[in-house]
Amino acid sequence: MKKYKSLLIVLFATVLALVSCEDYLDKDPELGINADEVYSEYYTFKGAVDRGNWLVMNYVATSTNWGAYIGAMSDEQQAVKNDMPVYKSINQGVWQDSHWRDFGMNYRSETAYGADPYYNEPSGKSLKAIRAMGLAIENIEMLSDFPAEIGYTPTELKNQLLGQAYALRAWHQFEVIRRYGPILLVDTVGGGRSTFTKTYNFDQVRPTFQRCADLIAADCDEAYELLPNKWTSSTDIGRLTKTSALAIKAMTYLYAASPLMNTQDGAYPLGQDSYNEEYAKKGINAMLAALKQVANGGTRYQLYDKDHYMENWMSQGYENGGAITNEALLQPVPTNSDNYNLPMNRSGSGTGWFLPQHDGGWAVFNVPTQNAVDKFETMNGYPVSNFSSDDPEFDPANPYEGRDPRLKKFIFCPGDDMYLSEPEGAARTNEAWSNDTDPSEKDGAGFHYKFYRGKQLVFTGYFSAGKWRKLGYNKFDNQYSQNYYRSFPLIRLADMYLGLAELANEVYGPTGVIPGAGFIDKTTGLEVNSAKDALNVIRARIGMSDVRDEFLNVSDFRERVRNEWAVEFYGEFRRWKDMRRWRIAKDVFNQGIYGVNVTKNNDGTFSYVNEKLNVPRVFEDKHYWYPLDNKYIDMFSMFEQNPGW
């Protein structure tokens, strides 16, 4: 057996760094700095805790083109360029020691506030945060120097800091285990949850995912008792609250109940075919608690209605909290750097995400797939597949009309107007047809089809529209001065409704009464008593019809809930995680990635068929869990690599 080395040095090392807008240094006593300098005074302690906030992954605050991973790792989007890592490595299943964006535990460069977090993978950031929050929790009694000018008692200030530390440690643990599987990230010797020491023996058999979930939930319970319902200062809007703690707990139990993570009774790594009923009930209770907390008032949270729906991802006025969404129960700290997510501008972050090359964006970006478009039902609630539907009102000649309103909010379909004015040297509408309809013309194919096929780029027929791309924000309209700001919520109120619908269906069926439910959603006015009710709230707030009666059996309703996840969270890096936790990714990818082939007919009408794309999606059983770096695994004998790697 190779002699193991402490992962404390390798994975949990901390560095001196600027961590918050107050420019306080995070000082690690293990690096020889007196702990009293950090933990005795309120503002330096606050800076240490805020480090956990800044280490929450912010996907719209980096210029390193995270978007080429967020959508294209799943089936909802496709990277257009075949020489980039997401295409030639990640989509090919080559993940071992890859250190590209979502993979790896890179921690080398924790840089100053507002800087581009290029060198940090999410799990690397989270490992640092777990340790930093643990140290704050364990040193809370050292805090003795409190300011008098900010309107809180010393006990209130201490509780706020401690509550945030517990909630942030919970979130960061969740970030690691949903990628790499069950790993103990706190020292449980003696029944506690303490920070690892250099003498801790990491060479242990993996726990179950459920054991890890319970440890995270315990942190959430501590946080719930300490955090406020609502922060009173405008400078604290967006900080974690009691509802946030419940939401983190709920999401953790949602995963713990899901088939892949149902690893009890020796079922690791591939879980079980069914949901874990015990943990489904735990998830239901946490979701109900969060939803009822909002329904009862006293929080700032709300489910946006259809008129304000897009405020989930963009809003105006940084000074008025424009970077904060009131539906987000957890979101990253916004920066005020012009180079990143705030404000939305042509040169800043996101250009490589959502702005196509013909609009002034990068040559590397993603486009929606037909797989994603097919998830958007008709307004009457019928599924659509390959431009066909059982809906008697569905028109194959106008297949994008009469669909779920979110389709046109999120995706530019063929024929959609994409500009505020006529673009010089380009087409105003999405010209996706592929054929030459006029023999007298050299090439009568549509502008966008010709542009992308001519550059040897993948063309699906679709472009991203809303969420983080504002109409007019392109090189032709040049409307970059509207003071809009992006946000990337990590847990939304919609998560609680859809999670409740998913888990309650597995335990009580689609129409069975959920014990402890019976609350009224403030936005829609609907009473929630069942899984069906929870699903219909999310549909109603955007103007969709209720789920159809023929789907009110456990199996069909499960598929409609999963479809709703794909629609509501399109482009939010959820589809990738959901496909894995439901253990359906291999089957989905085996069916292929599709675009649309549009034919312009001689009479000016169009015909549409699915077109299977020649793009990679290699996914085997081993890909359900990320591989740990071999340099870590080689240290151990009992703690094993994820199977298949």
Q: What is the pLDDT of residues 409-433, one digit of tens each?
A: 999 999 999 999 999 999 999 999 9
Query: Which of 19-33, 164-178, 438-452: highest mean pLDDT?
Result: 164-178
User: Quick check: helix, strand or coil at residue 133?
Assistant: helix
Q: 423 and 526 share a domain? A: no
Q: 321 and 362 share a domain? A: no
Q: 49 and 136 share a domain? A: yes
Residues 145, 149, 153, 158: what is their CA dihedral angle, to the nearest 10 degrees? -50
Q: 473 and 422 share a domain? A: yes
Q: Is residue 338 domain-resident?
A: no
What is the residue-averaged pLDDT of the chain?
87
Q: Is residue 415 domain-resident?
A: yes
Q: 157 and 193 share a domain? A: yes
Domain encompassing residue 257:
228-332+494-559
The Cα 123–Cα 7 span in angstroms is 14
The DSSP letter of residue 361 is -
The Cα 437–Cα 81 span in angstroms is 28
Q: 37 and 106 share a domain? A: yes
Q: How confident is the model at residue 630, as a pLDDT?
A: 84
| CA-based nearest residue to 19, from 146, 172, 128 | 128
Q: Is residue 124 domain-resident?
A: yes
Residues 279-301 pLDDT 10s: 999 999 999 999 999 999 999 99
Q: How confident is the model at residue 638, as a pLDDT?
A: 81
Q: How confident is the model at residue 498 (pLDDT cuts 50, 70, 90)?
A: very high
Q: How confident is the model at residue 4 (pLDDT cuts 50, 70, 90)?
A: very low
Q: How confident is the model at residue 591, as a pLDDT?
A: 97
Residues 601, 606, 612, 615: what is their CA dihedral angle, to the nearest 10 degrees? 100
Amino acid letter for position 466: G
Q: 106 and 147 share a domain? A: yes
The Cα 244–Cα 239 span in angstroms is 9
Q: Is residue 217 domain-resident?
A: no
Q: 281 and 167 share a domain? A: no
The Cα 177–Cα 188 span in angstroms is 16
Q: What is the mean pLDDT of residues 449-473?
A: 91
Q: Is residue 9 domain-resident?
A: no
The Cα 18–Cα 289 span in angstroms is 36
**pTM here?**
0.93
pLDDT at 43 over 70: yes
Percent of the chain having pLDDT more than 90?
A: 68
The two structure tokens encoding residue 622 = 């081993």
Q: 184 and 265 share a domain? A: no
Q: How confident is the model at residue 25 (pLDDT cuts 50, 70, 90)?
A: very low
Q: 459 and 553 share a domain? A: no
Q: What is the mean pLDDT of residues 395-422?
A: 97
The Cα 563–Cα 382 span in angstroms is 12
Residues 77-104 pLDDT 10s: 999 999 888 899 999 999 998 877 898 8
| Helical ranges in 11-153 per DSSP H | 35-39, 42-54, 67-70, 85, 122-138
Q: How confident is the model at residue 364, as a pLDDT?
A: 79
Q: How confident is the model at residue 107 (pLDDT cuts 50, 70, 90)?
A: low
Residues 69-81 pLDDT 10s: 888 999 999 999 9
The Cα 475–Cα 389 span in angstroms is 38
pLDDT at 363 over 70: yes
Q: What is the mean pLDDT of residues 213-231?
A: 98
pLDDT at 15 over 50: no
Q: Is residue 480 domain-resident?
A: yes
- Please identify, among 204, 238, 264, the residue that sits at the C-terminal boundary of a domain: 204
Q: 49 and 145 share a domain? A: yes
To which H or E segment does residue 554 belong? Answer: helix 554-568
Q: What angle do helix axes 493-508 and 277-295 make, rounded to 10 degrees?
A: 140
Q: Is residue 1 domain-resident?
A: no
Of the listed ranges 48-57, 143-152, 265-274, 349-358, the least confidently predicted one is 349-358
What's the structural domain count of the chain? 3
Q: 191 and 238 share a domain? A: no
Query: Which of 122-131, 169-178, 624-633: highest mean pLDDT?
Result: 169-178
Q: Is residue 25 domain-resident?
A: no
The Cα 249–Cα 247 span in angstroms is 5
Q: How confident is the model at residue 197 (pLDDT cuts 50, 70, 90)?
A: confident
